[in-house]
Amino acid sequence: MDSQRHSPIIGRFAANVTRVWDRCGAAAAACTCAVPASFLVHGNCHRHRLLLCYTTSPIHLTRRCASCSREGYMANICIIYGSSTGNTRDVAQKLQSLWGSNEADLFEVTEIDTDIFERYNRFIFAVSTWGAGDLQDDWELFFPRLDEVDFGSKRVAVMALGDQQHYPDAFADCVALLVDKVSERGATVVGATLPEGYSYNSSRAEREGRLLGLLLDEDNQADLTDKRLRAWVVSLRKQFR
């Protein structure tokens, strides 16, 4: 069964596909990452009720059917991340799964151009901090391109990874770089959080007693990441309206 190739099926599930769905469809529907199987079933598209079958393994699952693609349908939120070690990528994928891939598309900053900012109105930038508050390398390269973008009708939130133990005087400073830039270009910045639960001396990401975005510390507080992400998404759902 795993080696068979199937075309997309419209309407009610065919019997052979139903058997595969019973076996692995629940995992596929609940996860936007690769499922460890050579035959993967795409979850139902919420607009067209399509079931797509794939034989490629591993595969990054998305919830976008062929009809949606032809119609130019896209999610409401665009998550853009840059990652050198994989930590920010992993957190960005968790963030997307909390929204649901019908609501949020995920892109690496190395694979986008500025035209992406014409296709969405809600953005989340995910970045990691390097050195004394510097942007991650890929974000550093893309940063000047933000001057080409009119963010006048956009809402932007920023999430950053940092290390408050080794860089207590510059914890996640890079958040301020992105927030200031998109603000300068007209964006409405959302996603501010409270600094409770952190231990650092100073951070450019903190202003007037609030953090400019979500700060995560995978080195020292990884056990708090999921809780912080969930709370942030709840807050952003209101602010992104």
The model's pLDDT over 163-175, given as tens digits with 9 standing for 90+, comes to 999 999 999 999 9
Confidence at residue 67, expressed as pLDDT on a 0 to 100 scale: 41
For residues 92 and 64, state if they share a domain.
no
Residue 105, beta-bridge partner list: 78
Confidence at residue 171, expressed as pLDDT on a 0 to 100 scale: 95
> Are the C-beta atoms of 101 and 73 separated by less than 8 Å?
no
Is 189 within the bounds of a domain?
A: yes
Q: How confident is the model at residue 206 (pLDDT cuts 50, 70, 90)?
A: very high
For residues 170 and 155, state if they share a domain.
yes
For residues 146 and 37, state if they share a domain.
no
Q: Is the per-residue pLDDT at 70 higher than 60? A: no
For residues 35 and 140, state if they share a domain.
no
Confidence at residue 162, expressed as pLDDT on a 0 to 100 scale: 95
Residue type, 7: S
Which CATH number fits the domain that encloses residue 126? 3.40.50.360
Q: Is the per-residue pLDDT at 18 higher than 70? A: no
Q: Which residue is associated with the tokens 């794939």?
A: 54
Confidence at residue 101, expressed as pLDDT on a 0 to 100 scale: 75
Q: Select the more confidently predicted residue: 59 or 159.
A: 159
Is 3 within the bounds of a domain?
A: no
Q: What is the pLDDT of residues 119-135, one digit of tens each?
A: 999 999 999 998 878 89
Q: What is the mean pLDDT of residues 28-34?
A: 39
- Asked if omega into 195 is within 30° of 0 (cis), the reply is no
> Are the C-beta atoms of 13 and 19 separated by less than 8 Å?
no
For residues 110 and 188, state if they share a domain.
yes
Is 4 within the bounds of a domain?
A: no
- The CA distance from 139 to 88, in Å, is 12
Q: How confident is the model at residue 176 (pLDDT cuts 50, 70, 90)?
A: very high
For residues 126 and 186, state if they share a domain.
yes
| CA-based radius of gyration for the chain | 20
Q: What is the mean pLDDT of residues 194-220?
A: 96
Q: What is the mean pLDDT of residues 88-94?
A: 96
For residues 57 and 90, state if they share a domain.
no
Last residue within a domain, chosen from 21, 42, 69: 69
Q: Is the per-residue pLDDT at 86 higher than 70? A: yes
Is 91 within the bounds of a domain?
A: yes
Kindly give the interhelix angle for 225-239 and 87-99, rounded to the nearest 10 degrees.
50
Is 1 within the bounds of a domain?
A: no
Is 2 within the bounds of a domain?
A: no
DSSP strand pairing (210-211 vs 206-207): antiparallel
Confidence at residue 75, expressed as pLDDT on a 0 to 100 scale: 65
For residues 61 and 94, state if they share a domain.
no
Last residue within a domain, chosen from 46, 69, 92: 69
For residues 54 and 31, state if they share a domain.
yes
Q: Which domain holds residue 25?
A: 9-69
For residues 143 and 207, state if they share a domain.
yes
**Number of structural domains found in the chain:** 2
Q: How many CB atoms lie within 10 A of CB 103?
A: 17
